[in-house]
A and B are shown apart, each in its own frame.
Chain A
Amino acid sequence: MPISLARVGEGTFDSELEALKAGDEAAFRALIERYHGPIMRLAMAYVRDRGVAEDVVQETWLTCLRSLERFEGRSSLKTWIFGIAINVARSRRRKEARILPFASLWRRDDSDRRRPTVDAKRFGADGLWSAGPSSWSGLPESTVLGNETLQRVKEAIDALPAKQRDVITLRDVAGLSADEVCGLLSISDENQRVRLHRARASVRKMLEEYLR
């Protein structure tokens, strides 16, 4: 097999990718286990229904397998997989949208605008906290990371405008870097940060109400 020049030029070697291409089942199993949750959350951002989201996960991996031989490792394996997941989820949503009256799909999404994320009533006329946030450090881990809390957070993500959902899912659930997310979604650093900020602020606000 000829050595890819692009690869040599890059000077990186992804051993996981090599293992996959060599047909290493343990490597594939590790990947589908590691990325199942993040890809599910991402899929749920597009299709809402769990069963359909699982189809998206499955289709993502099948597409990865079909394209694996052609993938040269110009992006990281992780970024490549999430790029495929986004494409699969988007095309699945378009199909669903033809069947379902999915009004939120056409909801105006102003996620790229900077807007106050904390209620103005929380501050005095001097701009200082009048009703400051309380500390969560005294709360038990079993509450903060409990199933009930996680379920609320899922719902809070699902309620976000699509642009914010993509960014918070890729950054904070899937753990991609800012650069990777900008590249995948074709957005500027600034837009990425604004969407992430607004999304995190919304989830924090829900948690504040829930953990009160």
Chain B
Amino acid sequence: MTCRQVVELMTDYLEGALSGADRARFEDHIAGCDGCRAYLAQLSTTRRVLSKLADEPIPADLQVELMKAFQNWKSTIKG
């Protein structure tokens, strides 16, 4: 496998979608290639940054409004 092929298989590898033989060849390549190891590490950092986007706090006014809606809903089910 060349680096050019390996970079295109990285998601398949991470998702566990490679055949046993391809997985072994992929791992063999990675073990001996600084560039591809760095690329794989960059992809994992990329995923870490992406997951950070989920941390956006809910605006206070929206939260208040939604909690009111929940209380209204609650009163209808209890009623």
Chain A interface (Cβ within 8 Å of chain B)? 21, 23, 25, 28-29, 32-33, 36-38, 40-41, 54, 57-58, 61-62, 65-66, 68-69, 114, 116-118, 120, 123, 126-129, 132-137, 144-145, 149-150, 153-154, 157, 168, 172-175, 178, 189, 193, 196-197, 200-201, 203-204, 207-208
Interface of chain B: mostly helix, strand, loop or mixed: helix
> Does A135 lie within 8 Å of B41, measured CB to CB?
yes
> Does A23 lie within 8 Å of B74, measured CB to CB?
yes
Task: Tell me whether B50 is interfacial, beta carbon within 8 Å.
Answer: yes
Point out the residues of chain A lying under 8 angstroms from B34, CB to CB. 132
Known: A54-B59, A117-B8, A132-B38. A204 touches B73 (CB 8 A): no
> Does B38 lie within 8 Å of A133, measured CB to CB?
yes
Interface of chain A: mostly helix, strand, loop or mixed: helix
CB closest chain-A residue, reference B78: A23
Point out the residues of chain A lying under 8 angstroms from B74, CB to CB. 23, 25
Point out the residues of chain B lying under 8 angstroms from A29, CB to CB. 63, 67
Q: Which of B7, B43, B45, B53 contacts A154 (CB 8 A)?
A: B53
* 20 contacts across the A-B interface (CB closer than 8 A): A28-B70, A29-B63, A29-B67, A32-B58, A33-B58, A38-B53, A54-B59, A69-B77, A120-B4, A127-B3, A128-B4, A129-B3, A129-B35, A132-B35, A132-B39, A134-B38, A178-B15, A193-B11, A197-B10, A207-B42
> Does B52 lie within 8 Å of A61, measured CB to CB?
no
* Docked complex Cα distance between A172 and B66 (Å): 26
> Does B7 lie within 8 Å of A117, measured CB to CB?
yes
Point out the residues of chain A lying under 8 angstroms from B63, CB to CB. 29, 32-33
Task: Tell me whether B54 is interfacial, beta carbon within 8 Å.
Answer: yes
> Does B3 lie within 8 Å of A200, measured CB to CB?
no
* Docked complex Cα distance between A122 and B54 (Å): 32
Q: Which of A65, A118, A204 contacts B70 (CB 8 A)?
A: A65
